[in-house]
Amino acid sequence: MKRTWLLFSQAVTVLLAAYFVVATLKPQWVGGPGTRSGTVPLIEAASNGAQDIPAASFRLAAQKASVAVVSISTQSARQAAPGGDPWSRFFNSDPNDQPSGGLGSGVIVSPSGYILTNNHVIDDADEIDVLLQDGRHASGKVIGTDPDSDLAVLKIELDKLPAIVWGNSDTVQVGDQVLAIGNPFGVGQTVTSGIISALGRNQLGINTFENFIQTDAAINPGNSGGALVDTAGNLLGINTAIYSQSGGSMGIGFAIPVSTARLVLDAIVKDGKVTRGWIGVEPNELTAELKETFGVKTDRGVIITGVLQNGPASRAGLHPGDVIAQVEGKPVNNVSELLTAVAALKPGTAAKFQLERQNQALSLDITPGVRPKPKAIQR
């Protein structure tokens, strides 16, 4: 009996060992994975359905914001002059064609059909076609433009329009992740990602009033007027320009913050234009050369090198060589800050300017006028 049981145990052991060897080396012989010729055993991730979103994905933010970003194409019967605005050449396919066409983007900011875009996208356009993400087309009507900030407001007449959610550009910080959404090169709506590289960029010579958000999210021709959004899909800025030596993205893009865009939007919708304060001076940075020329000792403020005769500043007694240190109690450290502070003043209402004249502190009440229409800026 014992001998029989021993033989049975040995036989079972040998058979099991042979089975495991065959199953490992030739699984198809025993009906294991890979039984069918040409198939490969794979390990597939478990899926939770439509809500199975990777932790680092920006999918929800892109979906939330993209529906409110539109593509804008323009047609103009006017032929561009040879050697004209290089920014126009950057965005238009061929300025020597007649009629000429341009491409850009825009953001639906209200369900009633208001769209924010760049002024240079629709400047001189005779026809404006707006393409929504859902495939609908509409003709865009220009409600107003503001060349000083390079913003424009359009309106389209369609039902059930999606509108973007406004964020707060005053709370963002360098290093925050952002998405840029637009229609680069006319290939169709595209989403790129990056971070906020810098804040408060100015003195770039792009706009009269500059306070840009800088980002390394890829922005290319056709992205102008599109949305810069946070990782929740909320609007932070309107993409407006890039620094490039090749015509494409080099990781330096600029967006107008929504804090500025909101003021321009409200003014245009209400009055059809943006009214800014103006005092009629020629301001300059306080350089060592100008300090020596005018005998100035202070290191802070903006020096005035020219005053328009019979302008608001002239009538108030401002002189060349005066250094403006504050406007309505707010310090001004450079020309950009002075222009912004003066532009924010209400025309016809006196404002207090703190300045230095011949190394003596002085206070003047200047009643600003309405800022004249700006000349075209060479971009």
Superfamily for 277-370?
Answer: PDZ domain (2.30.42.10)
Task: Report the 10 Å Cβ neighbour count for 276.
Answer: 24
CA–CA dist 267, 9 (Å, integer): 94
Using the predicted structure, report yes or no on whether residue 142 has a pLDDT greater than 70. Answer: yes
Using the predicted structure, report yes or no on whether residue 159 has a pLDDT greater than 70. Answer: yes
Task: Exactly one of 105, 224, 249, 336 is catalytic; name it.
Answer: 224
**How much of the chain, in percent, has pLDDT values that exceed 70?**
79
CA–CA dist 224, 104 (Å, integer): 5
Task: Exactly one of 85, 150, 216, 322 is catalytic; name it.
Answer: 150
Within a 13 Å sphere around the CA of 61, how many CA atoms are in the beta-carbon half?
24
Using the predicted structure, report yes or no on whether residue 89 has a pLDDT greater than 50. Answer: no
319 is catalytic: no
Mean pLDDT on 286-310: 89
**Contact predicate 182/239, CB 8 Å:** yes
The predicted structure's pLDDT at residue 87: 47
Using the predicted structure, report yes or no on whether residue 2 has a pLDDT greater than 80. Answer: no
Task: Exactly one of 120, 148, 169, 249 is catalytic; name it.
Answer: 120
What's the CA dihedral at 148, 302, 326, 355 to 10 degrees? -130
120 is catalytic: yes
Among 30-39, 50-59, 141-150, name the one with the lowest average pLDDT.
30-39
358: Cβ–Cβ under 8 A, 6 or more apart, which residues?
A: 295, 321
Fold classification of 61-155 (topology level): Thrombin, subunit H (2.40.10)
What DSSP designation does 367 have?
-
The predicted structure's pLDDT at residue 325: 92
Cα 50 off chain centre by:
31
* 50 phi and psi angles, rounded to 5 deg: -65, -25
Using the predicted structure, report yes or no on whether residue 96 has a pLDDT greater than 60. Answer: no
Residue boundaries of the structural domains of the chain: 61-155, 177-271, 277-370
pLDDT band at 339 (very low <50, low <70, confident <90, very high): confident
Q: For 175-186, how does the pLDDT look when each residue is reduced to its tens digit (9 = 90+)? A: 899 999 998 888
**How much of the chain, in percent, has pLDDT values that exceed 90?**
34
CA–CA dist 345, 362 (Å, integer): 20
Mean pLDDT on 329-357: 88
Query: Which of 146, 178, 155 is closest to 70 using CA atoms?
Result: 155
Within a 13 Å sphere around the CA of 306, how many CA atoms are in the beta-carbon half?
4
Using the predicted structure, report yes or no on whether residue 50 has a pLDDT greater than 60. Answer: no
The predicted structure's pLDDT at residue 28: 61
- Let me know how long the chain is: 379
CA–CA dist 320, 309 (Å, integer): 11
Task: Report the 10 Å Cβ neighbour count for 195.
Answer: 14
Q: 61-155 with 277-370: one CATH topology? A: no
User: Two tokens at 209?
Assistant: 């009033």
**Contact predicate 106/74, CB 8 Å:** no
Most confident of 15-29, 37-51, 131-145: 131-145
137 is catalytic: no
CA–CA dist 81, 176 (Å, integer): 42
Superfamily for 177-271?
Answer: Trypsin-like serine proteases (2.40.10.10)
